[in-house]
Chains A and B, each alone.
Chain A
């Protein structure tokens, strides 16, 4: 099959010294970003987007991808050693990981997290290698109506599905869509919402919004409300697993990979679902149930960490084959592609095949690098945790400045950055999710273009969405995704009230 040839070519490209260096730097920065509080992979990639002005696409995508999953490896270190988890995907690891660390087994927890991440990441990358081209060949059959509905599905899942208030999720989505509207309309070249300000003709800069909402808002929120938070750190132990811990871990890794991978591929926002599912599965299947929640069961760390990595790797599939981002970081990666004028989608494998296969090959290489960075070198990262908060957050502000200024050389952008940071603080204080803003802003213009293309195919009639079988199927899925959880929850409440 072509896949082997392409993959081999990819390895040759990814294996050049310069690309290996980019991968190593990316993985290192990613691990650091995952370990450090206050900054996540989306923020880091956003801050470093200016390099797309000068560095060639393959190298920078390898670099960004390294940051993306490096952060997942690093996040587990923080969850296990500190009492506050780093990333959303590491929340579940913190449940058992903390317990294990308190009972002197931090090293085993770190080991199972790192090795499990490696196993899951490698298997998931195999999945990407074989599935992505397959999906791409079928995705060519998708037309604008189907694309539009896929994007609507992504909007729905990122704003309305994850348990919290749908109203606030939709409001965030609205804010994001509104931000995406600023600038020149793609189809009619009509100028919208610029208020006569020439800098806004190109639209609001993605880096500006992402860095403002994540980094600056984080810093402002920390100074306002988290000054007195003191994080206690658990003691390290030797990073090593006994034979019985190995025996308990590896089935968990494999199960978790198969749970996490599907969740990454579908436009269902967030890595919380697969990690919680994996945790519940491990708890149910484990012969050591008493350890869960008390001394810390190793399966409770092995499973969620592996599920997390599998899901994160799998999110590259909808990004590369359909051009649909399913998380904050993939949305920013899409922004990076757009900076190069590359549009991910089914044509990507034909038009930029070399880049895609080099990227996939670098995923394998990156996983190996991260295993080495996180197992023997984990002591380095633990030292990072000792950096006091004031210089850490102040340093983040410096990186935020370079990221925003580097894109457009505008001091006005820095003022906007502050304003968006304030918006982010208000959103966080009142539980408005921020992911829909970024996804709405990046995906909104694309969705609008697809919608208008779809309507011109249907000659201005809206039933074009009902006449095509693929579109109709997606409409049903969207309605199901919106309606089912509410119906089930209402039924559950009625049953509980009756009982």
Chain B
């Protein structure tokens, strides 16, 4: 079970790192108190110290038998990383391309990649051309009405491939 200790220790380390980050930032905030009694750096210090304390306790728990009162493991023991990569690729590609190819196409791409990921997690990865095309069409069928509702009905600007506001 050493890997559990390592992983929980890493989580505790993350909390400590966040606390250190906050403390570092708090050092740069002036403490001008004025009438308010405490300055703008008071809460940052409180939260930073709080997180450092929590991180220390978590590290202690991790190295002395694991986190206490954990929930029962929800789902599989080990992660299905190929599926994760597909979904991540979808989300990040969307972020990279949304302003270039527009909302509808970018979200359809995200949808298609994400569906690959979920089907892969179910063990049914389908890389046929027909599956790509079907999912891309479904993705567009979902993204297009959402796009039109937001841009036409609510006049909230979303990026489009063209300037017509319809694609």
Contacts and interface: CB of A to CB of B under 8 A. Distances in A.
A456 B42 CA distance: 14
Interface string B124-167: 00000000000100110011001100100011111100000000
Interface of B: 8, 11, 14-15, 18-19, 22, 25, 29-30, 32-40, 42-44, 47, 50-51, 54-55, 57-58, 61, 67-71, 74-76, 79-81, 83-84, 86-88, 90-92, 94-96, 98-99, 103, 107, 110-112, 114-115, 117-123, 135, 138-139, 142-143, 146-147, 150, 154-159
A228 B76 contact: yes
Given A55-B154, A394-B139, A417-B91, A221 B98 contact: no
Contacts of B81: 224
Nearest to A390: B118
A54 interface: yes
A402 B35 CA distance: 43
B38 A168 contact: no
With most chain A CB atoms within 10 A of its CB, the pick from B25, B42, B67, B95 is: B95
With most chain A CB atoms within 10 A of its CB, the pick from B43, B51, B71, B111 is: B43
Interface string A171-190: 10011011001000101101
Contacts of A402: 103, 107, 146-147, 150, 158
30 contacts: A165-B67, A167-B58, A171-B51, A171-B58, A177-B43, A192-B29, A193-B22, A222-B118, A222-B121, A223-B118, A223-B121, A224-B121, A227-B123, A228-B122, A390-B119, A391-B111, A394-B90, A394-B112, A394-B115, A397-B87, A398-B146, A401-B98, A401-B103, A402-B107, A409-B159, A417-B95, A418-B92, A426-B11, A431-B70, A461-B37
A139 interface: no
A418 B88 contact: yes
Contacts of B118: 222-223, 227, 389-390, 393-394
A162 to B, nearest CB: 11
Q: What 4 A-B pairs are tightest by C-beta distance, nearest first?
A: A227-B121, A455-B37, A225-B75, A414-B95
B76 A226 contact: yes
A428 B11 CA distance: 12
A411 B33 contact: no
B133 to A, nearest CB: 14
B44 A395 contact: no
B142 A398 contact: yes
Contacts of A412: 95
Nearest to B99: A411
A398 B40 CA distance: 38
A255 interface: no
A398 B44 contact: no
A399 B155 CA distance: 17
Contact of B69 (A54, A164, A418): A164
Contact of B33 (A227, A389, A393, A460): A460
Chain A, interface size: which category?
A: 35 or more
B83 A193 contact: no
Given A228-B123, A458-B37, 13 more contacts: A165-B69, A170-B50, A175-B18, A222-B121, A225-B79, A391-B138, A397-B114, A398-B146, A401-B103, A426-B11, A430-B67, A431-B69, A455-B36
A227 B146 contact: no
A188 B8 contact: no
Contact of B84 (A185, A224, A397, A430): A224
Contacts of B114: 219, 390, 393-394, 397
A415 interface: yes
Contacts of B35: 456
B103 to A, nearest CB: 7
A136 B78 CA distance: 52
A285 interface: no
Contacts of A421: 91
A421 B114 CA distance: 14
A460 B34 CA distance: 9
A391 B87 CA distance: 12
Contact of B110 (A220, A394, A430, A455): A394
